Structure 1
Amino acid sequence: MWFGVVYGVVLGVGFGVVLGVGFGVGFIFAFFRLDNWLIGLLAGPQGRLFPRITLLPLPGLTSTLQQWLQQDWETAIDNLNQYLQYSRQFIPVVTAVNRVLPQFPEAEIIYRVSRLAENPSDWELLKYASAKPFYLPRSKIRLDTPARAAAAGFWYLHQRDTEKAEKAFAKVRSLAYGEEMYSLAQTLHRFSRAATPDSIGFLKVAPIAAEPSLRPQTWQAISSFNRVIAEMALVQRSYSQQTRSLALNRIIGKLRDISDQKAANLPQAEKELILSMAEKWAKISTSIAGTVGTVTITQRIPNPYIIGDPVIGKRFVGRGDILGELQSMWSGDNLSSVVLYGHRRMGKTSILRNLEAYLPPAISVIYINLQRVATVTSLAEVLLNMAEEIAQTLAIDAPEEEKISQHPEMYFNRYLDRLISQILPEKAKTGLIIALDEFEIIEDLIEANTLPRNFLGYLRSLVQSSPRLAFVFAGLHTLEEMTADYFHPFFGSVYPIPVSFLSPESTRVILANPVGEDEDFPLDYTPEALDKIYQLTHGQPYLVQLIGFHLVRFYNKQVFELQRPQDIRFQVEDVEKAIDAEFFQRGNYYFTGVWKQAKQDAAGQGEILIVLSSHVQGLTRADLLSSTGLTATTLDLALKTLENHHVIECQDSRYQIAVELFRRWLSAKMA
């Protein structure tokens, strides 16, 4: 009996072992396909041609893939993707990539990884290119080398983990394209967190990477998101029902454009992230559509665009950088004097006329247009006019004309002393800013001997007499360009601030909401029309207002005079129609002002502009040297002056006229 028991046990154990071994071997053959691997081994180099269904690395495949990657990265990536798609040879592929990628110069790492992430058959390749060997348990992504950090960055973008992508690209910011990819990941991280209309509207727009960039299509999408942010801010902060409605329509259209048109060109790594973000923002936008409403136009639209006078009050937008700089300069106890310089119609007067609204209430601003003294005959008349403007603004008694005529400087000094020491404290004022517009009139009066040549020195002595008094000069030139001896005393005591073109964002705000946020403007612009206006004007404030003015006239004429249907959204073709002969005639003051100033200053400017007027894409310095006939010294000085005055700009070593409308005007004038 005991023999039977022992026999049964032995037989059971033996059968179990045989069965277990057999099952194990069968599993190994079925899972790892050892038969396929053995065929590849026996076939030698031709083994790679057999059906590749084994997980085990085929002999020699890793070294072959390495050679391919070292010889031709782009072609090798295509071959690697074929292996990943039609075989299970993941191990040799990722091993080859991990061995070869660190061998390249660091300056090439991000670009090469971006090509690897272009359209991989298996995104795990990017993951394990940045991790410990994948066959180890709990493989963890590492950022300890440039190659691993770059691969991790693209992997995390694909996983929509923007926070980790930002951290990964932070490790390679110093490499070529590193700063771009870090900024891109950082921007997508900020944008992806916005989940309400308020959070979208309060987002800070992202700076766009300069060309040439690694991800131009992604930056185009980010630029579209920037516009959505600006429009959502308008929806959230405007009191105008029509403005909010039109802005919301633009938002939905722009997000649809991202999903429909830009989707096909987006890089694979960030494509799903961007599309999901566009979808989320679109849902947020449509959720508030019912609260916005629409407005019907039944009568002629009053033209809100200002083309002659300074823009004052709520319609004044787009100079936050300059006003912020002035605020910081005048926030302390010592007031600094400044000079605002730029072409005519650039908005200098508008800045001066709006200054007081942006300064502490304890500081008074006295605006004086020096055109009023252009015909005076003496220093006494100039100082009397200045004193009368001060008196009128502060509602105090004006000085006696007879006394100031006898001793102009002495009496004006006493007048200011009394003003600063007695009158300002009585009015709870701590500082006085005297803004002198059309500053070049001072030059004319000095040259005509109406003012003494030490007049600027006299003004400087006034500034130095009290820290609570400062001047703001606004004119066409920088002080450095005023080379006459009588300007030298001011060189070290006046801070220059250029007044140049508006930004694209400010240009859009002016056009889309010219009446201010608390009123309705029923017309609208397509994004393409806004882009076209900026391309034509470069943000020149007067020309921006002039185009808007002509478009409103065009709408009123079409609808209410000719009884023709007209879309309330201006298109690119509407903008082109507005640029007619009447437009150039009305804008002639600006165009001739730029042209005359160029002909009066450094020699050669006129010749350069004439040549450039027939070349939309601009010319190189060598082209200009041969086309103008100027000497190298004259050419370089003229180019520098034109650039300083923002008449031309240089991009990719080509000089071109900055404002396209001025180029067209000059081209027609020279024809």
Structure 2
Amino acid sequence: GVPGRGAVGVAGRVAVGVAVGVAVGVAVSMAVGVLSSVEGDVAFGVVFGVAVGVGALRAVFYPFQLGSALRSAFRGGGHPLEWDELVVLPLPGTRRTLTQRLQQDEPDGLRFVADAARNPFQRWAAQAALQSYLHEHASPLQFIYALLANFDLDTYVFAPVTRQDWERLPSTRQLFLGELDRQWVDCSSDWTNRLAERLVWGLTWFLRDRRKTPLTRFASMLYKLLDEQAIAADEFDLSAYTEIYTGLVDYPSGVEITRSFETMAVFLSYGDLSTLPAAVNVTSGLAQDDAPIRPTVLTALDRLGQVGAEVATYRDATSRVNQLAALAHATDALDELDECVVAEVMAPEQYILRRVSRQWRRLVSEAGGEVGRAEEAGPVANPYVVGNPVTGDLFVGREDILHRLEELWSGTGPKPSVVLYGHRRMGKSSILHNLGARFGARTVIVDFNMQRVGLVASTGELLYNLALALYDAQTLGVSKTPRVLEEPDETRFIAHNPYTALDRFLKRLDQVRADRRFIVTVDEFELIEEWITKGRLEPELLGFWRSRFQKYPWFIMAFAGLHKLEEMRSAYWNPFFGSVTAIRVSFLSHGAARLLITQPSPDFSIDYDEDAVERIIELTNGQPYLVQLMGHGLVTRFNRQTFEEGVERERRFSLADVEAVITAPVFYRDGDAYFTGVWGQAETSDPPGQTAVLRTLARSETGMPDEEIARQAGLAPEEVGRALETLARHDVVMEEDNRWQFTVELMRRWVAQRQ
């Protein structure tokens, strides 16, 4: 609550208690008061008689209060209302004092009026002062919206005590809006307080300002619309208030208020998607004044008009892809609008606009579902790529790695070379193939795949091939090279010092590169170690590359392979430790795997059941090759059933479809490259015992502790420990709750089938 409001809330409750205590004597007091009424400030005599019984409890103070009130009226000074929160009897000048405070300082005056309104016996004066100030205001609608925007008026009328109080007591703002139209606002939480409140309101009814104007009716409308549940109800109809908000056009800013409510009423009437495009024309008449009262409301309505334009695009599109794109834009726009309305628009317009956005979003979603279910004339193009690097729109799910590379290679200054390492079929080659689309025209990607270079006979041949790749790439994206770069001379690399030859070539390239950087991608870099071992390459090659990174900051190499540098056994890899950044490429995250499964391409038209998606992730653990393999199998099976076997089926993959794909013999045959690759590495690499461990683990779906593995495999605990450490480093097994298990359930099943 607001500081200082607690005492006023207590005062209000005391006043209500007083009303209950004198209820029996009210009827008699009223009769006497009417007979003895005198002319004065707002039927003072009438209420004086009515309040005789009420004021008896504080009769000793009344002469002093009356004197102070009269002195305030004729000589100035403070009115008793300013220092006595429990004033029961009506005093002359009360309304005038409240009105003057509003005129002097509106925000401070509203706080003073709010304090007075918390006392049920003085609420009449607060109502009369608000009425007077509203109708004398140069811009009365602006004042009404000031009431809606004033955060001080968010406080409860009385300080809540019980749970019922928190749920039922109105805010001061609601009280003001209701009282402006002479409505009784229920400020109680039980029947005794309600009876007392009603009694006091009836006793002071004759003292209220009883004018009925378009402004008071509009205040009453806002009071009702502040009930969010009422606006959310199915039977809510904003057009029922048409007579009220159209009656404001003659007031300053009245046209703005009228047209905005008319527009919201029209938008709420749209119950079919085909009506939404008309929103563009409706909002075209919402010309803003130089200083609109509610600019955020007008902005929100204009954005709804833009949503209507997106729906018009969907209506006019003949391409299914364009239809889905337009509906996606409309959905995004509605979601963003809803967030904006919550943050920037005040109630009650906030509640109305949110109902509009929710209503429209449902219509757009239904249309999207219908388009998504629309059958195509031919087989579905299979977007899942198995075996080859994935490029373009089909490359999905590696944003984390690409963001990391952007961090390393952004800005100016030297940039580190990198090693992408990870197990087989994790998508390392696909990442390298998609670097060009990520880094723009000032970055030249040079593809230097070790497999395509072939069986080179020497370091000179390898560096010559690298120079050729740089030479071929340096003209890409440049319409005119400032200076001509000569093609590398093979003789200088073979017959002379190859390191000097490449260095001189890089120096010439530096002069013509036009401020571009060159990123050389080297896939399957572990072949370098193999060729060094066989004597084809010199160990000094790695140290030479390291020195070139440092000399030419624009010359960057991106390696990809199975091993991390720490696993390379020979000492000649040591120079690389301080010059490259290692980035691990492992399983896709749950979210990335889900994206790859459900949206492998922008125009993919088959849906998935939720349990089917989760089953694929469970079986693959986000291994990208296997996710692609399962998706490819699902689409192939769908096309065969639908277009070859004539099976009528829904365009949706279920859990049964997933099980059918992985139990078909062709699945493990098609995935042989992955399964045999993992098995082969475990079979041929150190330490020994890896395949024995895998065979043992394959017997259990829930895994085993290491001592159980050692017992069943017949290996020493030390052997099992070394094997598990290597297999875990290669993403083949993992430990969870002291039990070892396969990281990929499909790999476990493949091993189990081999036994």
Q: So what's the TM-score if we normalise by structure 1? A: 0.57
Task: Verify the 8 A CA contact 2:422 2:561 in the aligned structure 1.
Answer: yes
1:535 is matched with 618
Matched, 1:423 2:512: yes
Asked whether the equivalents of residues 243 and 522 of structure 1 are also in contact (C-alpha less than 8 Å), the reply is no
Identity %: 40
- The reply to whether residue 406 of structure 1 matches residue 491 of structure 2 is no
Match of 1:330 in 2: 409
Matched residue count = 413
Match of 1:497 in 2: 583
Instruction: Report how far residue 416 of structure 1 moved.
Output: 1.2
Letter in 2 for 1:380: G
| Distance (Å, rounded) in 1 between the aligned partners of 2:324 and 2:571 | 53
Can you give the 5+ residue segments of structure 2 that lack an aligned partner in the other structure? 1-20, 26-158, 167-227, 229-313, 333-354, 476-484
Structure 1 residues 448 and 296, CA gap change in structure 2 (3 angstroms):
same
TM-aligned CA deviation for residue 290 of structure 1:
5.4
Secondary structure of residue in 2 paired with 1:288: helix
Q: Is the 8 A contact 2:616 2:658 kept in 1?
A: yes
Match of 2:716 in 1: 631
Give secondary structure in 2 for the equivalent of 1:508. helix
Cα offset, 1:398, TM superposition: 3.1
Structure 2 CA distance for partners of 1:247 and 1:605, relative to 1, 3 Å: farther
Shift, 1:246, TM fit: 11
2:389 aligns to what SS in structure 1?
coil
Q: 1:663 to 1:247 in 2, by over 3 A?
A: farther
Deviation of residue 370 (structure 1)? 0.3
* Paired residue type of 2:501: Y
Q: Contact conserved, 1:243 with 1:513, CA < 8 A, in 2?
A: no
Q: 1:241 to 1:452 in 2, by over 3 A?
A: same
Q: Which one of 380, 395, 398 corresponds to residue 301 of structure 1?
A: 380
Alignment-derived partner of residue 155 in structure 1: none
TM alignment of 1:131-530, pairs within 5 A: 240=321, 285-289=361-365, 291-292=367-368, 293-294=370-371, 295-332=374-411, 333-395=413-475, 397-407=486-496, 408-420=498-510, 422-425=511-514, 428-429=515-516, 431-515=517-601, 517=602, 520-530=603-613
Q: Tell me how far 1:637 sits from its aligned partner.
A: 2.4
2:156 paired residue number: none
Q: State how 1:78-97 maps to structure 2 within 5 Å.
A: none
- Which residue identity does 1:624 align to in structure 2? I
Q: Which deviations, in whole Å up to 9, do the C-alpha atoms of 1:354-404 show, x marking residues without a partner?
A: 112222532222121101234111112111211122122223653121222
Q: TM-score, normalised by structure 2?
A: 0.51
Q: Distance in 2 between matches of 1:498 and 1:284?
A: 45
Cα deviation for residue 282 of structure 1 reads 7.8
* CA shift for structure 1 position 626: 2.0
* Inter-CA distance 361–588: structure 2 relative to 1 (3 Å threshold): same
For residue 396 of structure 2, give the secondary structure of its aligned residue in structure 1.
Answer: coil
Q: 1:242 to 1:572 in 2, by over 3 A?
A: farther
Give the superposition deviation at 1:239.
Answer: 8.6
CA distance in structure 2 between the partners assigned to 1:581 and 1:556 by the alignment: 18
Cα distance change on mapping 1:433 and 1:298 into 2, 3 Å: same
Post-superposition CA distance 1:579-627 (Å, at most 9, x none)? 1211111110111111111221332221211111111111112222322
Q: Which residue of 2 aligns with 1:263?
A: none
Q: Within 1, Cα distance between the matches of 2:492 and 2:402? A: 38
Amino acid in the other structure paired with 1:506: A
Question: Which residue is 1:603 aligned to?
Answer: 688
**Contact 1:242–1:522 (CA under 8 A) maintained in structure 2:** no
* Deviation readout 1:414-437 (Å, 9 max, x if unpaired): 1112212x1212xx41x2221111
State the SS of the aligned residue for 2:435. Answer: helix
CA contact (8 A) 1:355 1:365 kept: yes
Gaps of at least 5 residues in structure 1 are 1-15, 21-130, 139-159, 161-234, 252-278
Shift of 1:284: 6.4
Cα gap change, 1:336 to 1:649, in 2 (>3 Å): same
Of residues 623, 626, 632 in structure 2, which corresponds to 1:549? 632
- 1:156 aligns with none
1:650 and 2:740 are equivalent in the alignment: no
2: CA distance between counterparts of 1:505 and 1:594?
Answer: 25
| Larger gyration radius, structure 1 or structure 2 | 2
CA contact under 8 A between 2:396 and 2:600: conserved in structure 1? Answer: no
Partners of 2:574 and 2:626 in 1: CA distance: 35
Change (3 A) 1:460 1:239: farther
CA 555–280 in structure 1, closer or farther in 2 if over 3 Å, else same: farther
Q: Pick from 666, 672, 681 the counterpart of residue 582 of structure 1.
A: 666
Deviations 1:626-650 (A, max 9, x none): 2223333332222222222111112
1:254-283 Cα distance to aligned partner (Å, 9 max, x none): xxxxxxxxxxxxxxxxxxxxxxxxx99986
CA 388–666 in structure 1, closer or farther in 2 if over 3 Å, else same: same
Quick check: 361-370 or 290-299, which moved more? Answer: 290-299
What is the CA-CA distance between 1:241 and the residue it aligns to?
5.6
Deviation at 1:495, TM superposition (A): 1.3
Tell me the SS of whatever aligns to 1:452.
Answer: coil
